[in-house]
Amino acid sequence: MLISDFEIIKYDELDSTQDEVYRLWRQNHKSKIVVLAKHQTAGRGRNKKVWESPEGSLYFSMLLHSHDLDNFFTEQLFLPLVVGLSLLELLKNIRVNCLIKWPNDIIYEDKKLAGVLCEKKDDAYIVGVGINVMTAPIDSAISLSKILKADMPKLDHLLTSFLEVFLRRLNCTNKFEIQKELNSFLYGKNEKAFFGNELVFIQGISDDGGLIILNGEKSVTLYSGEKVTLIRKLL
Ligand code: BTN
């Protein structure tokens, strides 16, 4: 897939770019689309959380049809993880070095800079990305403007750079290569954490995109975003 295959539709305001992509898809919108909004009135994150979306930051969603994706991406957790790796690469290109908090938060120095929401609707995937560019609406978040101070990239530039990196990365289906990269950028790797009431140790990412934690002697792999909280974040 090429960027030129995608129709980029821009709005000043939307409830949620995820919902607009879904509406367009329901109206039989055949093409590949990316929907961008200057701000959202009902932006949402994972686990039904609100994603505050004031003007100045980047909010977009893209529609991917399953037939355009290698099974590799749709069978496991790899789609959101590869979106995450693409965001890391794009941010590294502007000298902002981040880590991935499994499964899909982008963290800069312990604060959240971006989030990814992948939703499956029948035979389509809606990939949503929010990057805190000008504002960080909550205490545990940070914005690019705070990190960079000057030389801020334009929102359009961030979007096209993301699409370039992400579409290139969709060609890589070597799970060990992806696993290796994820492990080298995993937030909290080799640290102690709480998983529910249990004290665990974060070991790394499995070759199918799960999070491996060590609970006593027992190694367990998590596949959904159950809450694992780093101990040092509680101190
Ligand atoms: C998360 O960290 O929980 C995921 C946040 C995803 C936010 C983006 S902003 C663009 C798209 N539209 C939404 O309503 N959500 C996603």
Residues ≥6 apart with Cβ < 8 Å to 48: none
Q: pLDDT tens, 38-77?
A: 999 999 998 889 999 999 999 999 999 888 888 888 766 7
Domains, the chain: 3-184 (3.30.930.10), 192-234 (no CATH)
Distance 60 CA to ligand 1 centre (A): 8
Ligand 1 nearest atom to the CA of residue 16, by list position: 14
Q: How confident is the model at residue 99 (pLDDT cuts 50, 70, 90)?
A: very high
Residues with CB under 6 A from ligand 1: 16-18, 40, 43-46, 49, 51, 59-61, 105, 115-117, 128-130
Q: How confident is the model at residue 168 (pLDDT cuts 50, 70, 90)?
A: very high
Q: Report, as an integer, the average pLDDT of 99-104.
A: 92
Q: Is 196 left (phi over 0), alpha (psi -120 to 50) or beta?
A: left
What pLDDT score was predicted for residue 76? Answer: 67
Backbone φ and ψ of 218, nearest 5°: -95, 130
Distance 63 CA to ligand 1 centre (A): 14
Tell which residue, 26, 85, 32, has the closest CA to residue 61.
32
Ligand 1 nearest atom to the CA of residue 44, by list position: 14
- The sign of the torsion formed by the CA atoms of 68, 126, 19, 36 equals negative
Pairing assessment for the beta strands 198-205 and 228-230 based on DSSP bridges: unpaired
Least confident of 3-7, 74-78, 143-147, 207-211: 74-78
Pairing assessment for the beta strands 124-131 and 192-195 based on DSSP bridges: unpaired
CA distances from 93 to 26, 96, 158, 179 (A): 36, 7, 10, 21
Ligand 1 nearest atom to the CA of residue 116, by list position: 4
Residues ≥6 apart with Cβ < 8 Å to 39: 12, 13, 53, 54, 55, 59
CB 96, CB 108: distance < 8 Å = yes
30 vs 77, more confident: 77
Distance 139 CA to ligand 1 centre (A): 17
Distance 147 CA to ligand 1 centre (A): 21
Q: Is the pLDDT of residue 230 over 70?
A: yes
Ligand 1 nearest atom to the CA of residue 114, by list position: 2
pTM, entire model? 0.94
Sequence-ordered alpha helix ranges (H) in 33-108: 71-75, 78-93
Closest residue CA from atom 2 of ligand 1:
115
Q: Is the pLDDT of residue 36 over 80?
A: yes
Angle 102-173-167 (CA atoms, 0-180°, nearest 5)?
80
